[in-house]
Structures are given as C-alpha cells and as structure tokens.
Structure 1
C-alpha cells in the first residue's frame, strides 16, 4: 500500500460488480440493459482531475494577508469546518488550515496560515481567487459580535465562557452543499456512523483537490450525487431515507447556493423532503456563519444547555429554547461556547450502538 492509504491501480481491489453486470440486488433501470446501467454508474462517479483545466498544482492563484484581532484562535475557529482530524476535504496540519471546496468559480483549495501576527490566505485552483476573497469570512473574521458582550453578562456561565474563548469566531464558508452532505449523514446516527458515510461518499465521488497538500479531496459534485441511485450509498452505511434526502438536496443545490442569507436558506432547505430544522441549522451555522442558529431536535444539545445554564441534567427542546431566549441573536454562539468548553450533561445508560446498513 502506498502512502496516503491508496493502493496502486494494478493492485487496487475491485469495488462492485464488473461493468457489464448490475450486480446482485442492484436493479437494471426500467427499459434499460446492464450496459446502460453501468454507463449510468460511471456517469455519477466523475474521475476527471482538476488539473485538466490547466492550473499548476502547487502555485497559489491568489494570496491575501488578513489581520486577526488579538487573541484570535485559528484552530478553534475552523474546527467546525472539519469532520474529525481525518476529514478528506479539510484538515489542520502544523497549525495551518486547509479546505477544499467547489466554488461558483470552480474547484479550489484555501490555505490559512499564521505568519508573524497576520493570517495569510493562499488560494489554489480555478476557484482560488473566489475563496481568497472570502478568506476573512471563512476564518471567522466577519463574525459580528455586536451586542453579545452585554447579553453574555446576564449569565455567569456564559460570561465566563465568552471571556475564556474570546478568540473563538464563527466561520462562514459561503458554500452550502458540502455542509448539507455532512448534516444529512449526521441525521439520527452516531458520530462514527456519520463520519464513515461521509468519508466513504467523498472518496467515491471525489477528485483530487488543487494545491500542494495531498491527499486532499474535493467534495462531491452535486449533480453526480443527484444522479446516483440510492443504492450507491448503501455500502457506505446509508439507508434509503438519508440517501434520498441527500439526492433531493443535491438536485436543488444551485438554488440553495443562490440564497442571499441564512433565513432564505433555511426556508429553501426545509422545503426539501427529509430536511427539518435541525439539518437546516447545522447548514446555515457554517455556510452563513449564523450566530443564532440552534439545532432543535439534537440528541445532546438540549441536555447540555439545561445543565450548563440551569443545573438541570435533562432538558427538551422547549426548555433549551426558553433558556437561550435571553441570548436571541446569539443563541447558536452560546451553544458553540458550551461545546468549545467541553461542557456536557451527566450521561446515564449505555452508549448508542454503532450500526451498519451496508449489509441489510
């Protein structure tokens, strides 16, 4: 096995049935043939590398220097943009943050690196300039904390956390679909199950990202996800309900990307069958940096809020919203501070089991 965990092409095991067969349990499209089926599958697994557009892999296409405020914490701020340290699309390495995204201008990688009190943003690939232009938002430097200090002062726990984590900001990527992908996979499963599905999907559909950091993959192309039959996701541990939700969201990804603000994005997201308030909040908090987005319906957050703000070991959504109401406008920020501080309610009973739908 070569470095990076990829086998050479000559030794790489086959994944799935031969191209001439749809495989056991995989239906041939109505009115079609096995060959037509194989052609459809190849259509939804793009393999054209980004280098085909003629961009030099290791040269930035744009660079910008940012001036973060005193005490700013890059790693803590961009933590929300990574799905574990092994995220195939984003990572923090040696104090430098890398993220690969499909922008309206094309595929791109953004590198954020501290340098003598500044923050240098390097963009790679056709969309590198687009990402560099938004680098301050992605770094959380457009995060508006107006009025939060006064609200935080009203509760001793929140006031203490706001002071302890004053360098923490809320990033805004400006790109919607990658966060939809992750949020849908996180619906009603454990974190490990969600990450496995996310990573496997990215590797199945993904392409190498521009830039010198490898392996780093681009998120899947929404059109490819929308065109894929639901059973493509089955080996990744994703049942039909989540697969269909993701495919529906991918089909309207262009419209979601054009939303002007978090409120419009929330309306359009919740109009997609299978996406409710929890998923919408998870998306707009990261894509738009919405400081008021609260994940109603979360398994843990209501208990965490009730425990931290009222000393109650358990709470439901109604109680959570009641306790967060004094912080309206920054309710999501309060939840972020609680998470950053590692606060959680007492845990009772066994952990949720790790399940797999791959063989069902």
Structure 2
C-alpha cells in the first residue's frame, strides 16, 4: 500500500526504537520486497518517511517504521515501533532485516566462478540485498495458502478483502491511515464460510487455512526450527505441499535454498534465464542442482537482473468462485 500522507514523526514518541548497522552496503527496499503482498497490501505501506509494517507479536500488535540511511559500510536502518508489541518487534528487527543472512559462501571465488554470467552480473550490481526473516508463521502462511492454484491478482484481491473485513487498525497515532494488523490465528478461524466465498477463496483453500491454524501455537514454534525441518513439518498438514512450504520459509526463515516447485511461472522463467528454453519443475531442479544450498539466492539474483521470459503462450485464467 502506497500512502500519500503520513502523520509527522516524533522519534521520542516511539514506544521502542533501534538503529541497526548491517556493517556493509544495504538496500532496505530490496530486502523487504518479498514481504509485501502487492501494492495494495494493507499491512505494508511505502512512504517517503520509510516502510511501515503492522503485525502481531507474542506481546500484542505493533506498528513498525523502518528507514535507511548512510552509505556503504556506514549504512544503517532506523526502526521505531508503537503499540503493545513494540519491544518484541524491535528485538526482532535485525533478524527481520537479514542480519543472519550470510552470502559469503555464495560470493566465495571458487563457487562464484561456477555461476551463470547473468547471475554474477546481477550479484555485482546487488551486493546490498539480504533475505529477510520474519519468524511469523501465521502471517506468512495464510496469504500463501490463498495463492495456491490461482493467479496472484485473484489471491491478493481476496486477501485485501479479508484484511479490510477482519484486520485491525495499526496501533499508534503516527500509523499511516489505512494501515492494518493482519488477523490473528483466532480471528482467521472466526471467518465464516460466506466471507471466504465473498473473498473469492474456494472451500479447499479456506479449509486448508482452518486446518493449519487449529494448532497455531505449534505452528508458530516452527519459526524456531531450521528452514528444512520447518518446511517438512508444514507439509504434514493436509493441503500444504512443497510450493506452499517453500514460499513460507523463504519469508519466515530467510531460507537461501528453498525453491517453489509447482509455481506456475518459476520453472519456465529459470529455464529461459539459464538456457534460453522453457523447462518444467524437474528440469529446473536439474539446472539448479550445482548450486544446492544457495538456489533461492540464485533465483533472487535472476529476478533482480531484470531478465524477463518471453510472454507468448496461454495465460492462467482468473477464476471467480463467488457466483458458485
């Protein structure tokens, strides 16, 4: 969500704050980009004053503002938080911003020399990006489930509808107008069937959300496991497969290797980028095999390279389930 106007900021008015030094060049916009569910995401606002996020911590809801400054090794990010969850949110800022994301093995000369030229050129221009790690399983899982087997446009339209119906106003007087905290697990579980229907979310996806959130406490504990184990445990929930698990741990754990197998576009994109030809999931995994452990880093560099695959071919049809 792009906010035209936001209230004046008063640093002293924040309930908690932090200046984080990444110790190297840093791009806040590129790092946070995967966390935004489209330009209309009500829980994520972009404004000249910074990036605004609203979410729930174990201590309660929070509004978090992030703004970058400095250059090169002197880069920093200022974080300010308002609401009951302010202290918890500030404590999680370094992890959120990729403090634990180590690219040294990817950049090691022997490994780096094996990478395709498109990737090495992209990495040369994008040394300041990190993979974010939210640690928030419910907030990542629900919108990902909504994106199963439908277009991104359809999924985000449904997510916005549900957010406006069941999200809550972001805390703090300085929060941009319209910024919303996503529903908690309990609030998602209270959404009636007809509201899922109005949102264009079919019964299969809504049932998957309900199953996944029945044990929300256990679900949030997955944030404390490594990405591979967390992804495997997610897939024990009926309706959650490898694609959903990968999309979640990419955001919750900053996983450098998870690949969204089953994605409608990714395999063809990787195939065209690396060989000039379309491929399927099996072909994509074979192409990426030499860089196992860093496959998500490689895909991220492909996206940041600006490469676009050919646009010919059938398009996925937007489905409207609300009339059925």
Question: Size of the alignment, in residue pairs?
Answer: 304
Mapped to 2, the partners of 1:254 and 1:340 lie a distance apart of 36
Between 1 and 2, higher relative CO (CA 8 Å, sep ≥ 6) is seen in: 2
Q: Provide TM-score, normalisation by structure 2.
A: 0.89
Mapped to 1, the partners of 2:314 and 2:141 lie a distance apart of 29
Does residue 1:184 correspond to 2:145, yes or no? yes
Q: For 1:186-335, what aligned pairs fall within 5 Å after superposition?
A: 186-211=147-172, 212-213=174-175, 214-259=177-222, 260-261=224-225, 262-312=227-277, 314-335=278-299
- What secondary structure is seen at the aligned counterpart in 2 of 1:122? strand
- Cα-Cα RMSD: 1.8
Mapped to 1, the partners of 2:287 and 2:309 lie a distance apart of 15
Q: For 1:1-360, what aligned pairs fall within 5 Å after superposition?
A: 59-94=13-48, 96-116=50-70, 117-150=75-108, 151-155=111-115, 156-211=117-172, 212-213=174-175, 214-259=177-222, 260-261=224-225, 262-312=227-277, 314-360=278-324
Mapped to 2, the partners of 1:336 and 1:95 lie a distance apart of 26
Uncovered stretches (5+) of structure 1, i.e. residues with no partner: 5-57
Bigger-Rg structure (1/2): 1
Mapped to 1, the partners of 2:27 and 2:148 lie a distance apart of 29
Mapped to 2, the partners of 1:188 and 1:354 lie a distance apart of 10
Query: Is the 1:75–1:95 contact (alpha carbons within 8 Å) kept by the matching residues of 2?
Result: no
Mapped to 1, the partners of 2:85 and 2:229 lie a distance apart of 25
Q: How many Å apart are 1:204 and its aligned residue?
A: 1.3
Query: Is the 1:227–1:247 contact (alpha carbons within 8 Å) kept by the matching residues of 2?
Result: no
Mapped to 2, the partners of 1:91 and 1:229 lie a distance apart of 28
Aligned to 1:12: none
- What secondary structure is seen at the aligned counterpart in 2 of 1:108? strand
Query: Is the 1:236–1:358 contact (alpha carbons within 8 Å) kept by the matching residues of 2?
Result: yes
Q: How many Å apart are 1:308 and its aligned residue?
A: 1.4
Q: Provide TM-score, normalisation by structure 1.
A: 0.80
Please state which structure has a larger fraction of its residues in helix.
2
Uncovered stretches (5+) of structure 2, i.e. residues with no partner: 5-11
Mapped to 2, the partners of 1:219 and 1:167 lie a distance apart of 29
Q: How many Å apart are 1:342 and its aligned residue?
A: 3.0
